[in-house]
Structure 1
Amino acid sequence: MKKVFLLLLLSIFFSIFTNSWLCEASSSPEPVLDINGKILRTEKTYFIIPINGEKYGALAVENIDNETCQLRVLQKNYVEPHALEFIPIDKKKGVIRVSTDLNVAIYSSYDCLPSIMWQLEKYDSKKGKYFINVGPKSTRNWFKIEKYGQGYKFVYCPPVCSNCKVICKDIGVRMVKGVRRLALSDVPLVFNFKKEILIGR
């Protein structure tokens, strides 16, 4: 009788534990995958591979206005792509997931700003656009990765506060004097990820 009772208790405990684990797993957004089907992880660096990359090139940062270290994020042919690191709000589990708020750190060759966050610029009234540049950590640094067709897209929709009015829009490309700059857009830039292979990682 005691054995039956013990087995019954173990069965109930296992059922509760399993259901709890399944609910938690199903409530988590799906992980972001690279071009090899591997999960993107924190403290790793990746290249953005635009779907239209063969025609327009890779993502990089460049000083396009002749200002000292006023770097803009752009898509350009014949440039060395700059690696990105994704830093989610909760990086304990080490997995990058879709629809999750994160910072995008970009690693450039500029000595003054070797590693800095993507940031939404203030509204450019002359060009009528919100552009993506790089800058120190602030409330304008939060982005999301969303699944889109055969690839992914970036979305700007910062979790500032429940009562704040925020902009929520896709990140696409805007032409400015022949330069393809990243900016808020109705047409997203669609891409995939490729892990940067570093010695010792």
Structure 2
Amino acid sequence: MTNFILSAATFLFFLLSSPPSTTAAAKITPVFDINGRPLQTGSTYYILPVIRGRGGGLTMTPINTTQSCPLYVAQENHEVSNGLPLKIYPVNPNEKRVPLGGDVNIVFDAASICVQSTGWMLAFDEATGKQHVATGGTIGNPGVDTLSNWFRIEKAGSGMYDYKVSFCPGVCIFCAVMCGDVGVFIGEDGTRFLGLTDRPLLVKFKKA
């Protein structure tokens, strides 16, 4: 009887002192596409509006007719257009799935007329006083120098696979960050630019 008690106590000690499994600790909730499949790192997707009738997928465009570069992120005018395909890269380069609420780089998988990357970044426009989503962002290298290049995909809306994109990077622990949701504001020519707004653009992801 004594040996049984000692064996049980020994088992309990090792059970409590053992670290959690790596698999359990590393488990994340992924973002899903419209077919219920997890978004894969480096695969191409279209980012489409949940609410139709107010523009289509996403594209790159100049901010006005007199300035051809840099290019800014905007919606296509026609709701039937999927726009340009994009790739998403988590802050952890070993992550195979795009994590919900994690820091990610978002990159257009398309050629650009400008000599710069097609990665997203937040850029302040002095003419309008607004924070636009522009291209030219650095991919990877998380830290203070790339703070404006990191976005998050968060659950939003009533649909099972409805999301929003937000800006609230966690790649710099000592940086003061102005967080906000990515929504739409209308340019002078009617272009639906993406930037930080009070109302997020609800989006869904479609495999390209």
Q: TM-score range by the shorter chain?
A: 0.7 to 0.9
Structure 1 equivalent of residue 129 of structure 2? 128
Structure 1 residues 19 and 139: CA distance shift in structure 2, 3 A: closer
Per-residue Cα deviation, 1:65-118 (whole angstroms, up to 9, x for no partner) = 242331010012235611111111113130111110011111234344585210
The separation in 1 between residues aligned to 2:108 and 2:63, in whole angstroms, is 17
Report deviation, 1:19.
8.5
The separation in 1 between residues aligned to 2:166 and 2:115, in whole angstroms, is 24
What are the equivalent positions in structure 2 for 1:44-123 lying under 5 Å apart?
44-66=43-65, 67-78=67-78, 81-112=83-114, 116-122=118-124
Percent of residue pairs bearing the same amino acid type = 34
Count of paired positions: 190
The separation in 1 between residues aligned to 2:152 and 2:70, in whole angstroms, is 24
AA paired with 2:149? N
Contact 1:61 1:108 (C-alpha < 8 Å) held by counterparts: no
The separation in 2 between residues aligned to 1:76 and 1:41, in whole angstroms, is 24
The separation in 1 between residues aligned to 2:33 and 2:84, in whole angstroms, is 16
Structure 2 equivalent of residue 140 of structure 1? 148
Per-residue Cα deviation, 1:135-180 (whole angstroms, up to 9, x for no partner) = 1413210000000022000010122532321111100001111111
Structure 1 residues 63 and 144: CA distance shift in structure 2, 3 A: same
The separation in 1 between residues aligned to 2:178 and 2:148, in whole angstroms, is 10
Report deviation, 1:58.
1.6
Unaligned runs of 5+ in 1: 197-201
What are the equivalent positions in structure 2 for 1:11-50 lying under 5 Å apart?
20-21=20-21, 24=24, 28-50=27-49
The separation in 1 between residues aligned to 2:106 and 2:99, in whole angstroms, is 13
AA paired with 1:120? L
Unaligned runs of 5+ in 2: 139-145
AA paired with 1:87? Y
AA paired with 1:143? F
Contact 1:69 1:112 (C-alpha < 8 Å) held by counterparts: yes
AA paired with 1:189? L
AA paired with 2:84? H
What are the equivalent positions in structure 2 for 1:117-196 lying under 5 Å apart?
117-122=119-124, 124-137=125-138, 138-149=146-157, 150=159, 151-177=162-188, 178-196=190-208
Structure 1 residues 32 and 127: CA distance shift in structure 2, 3 A: same
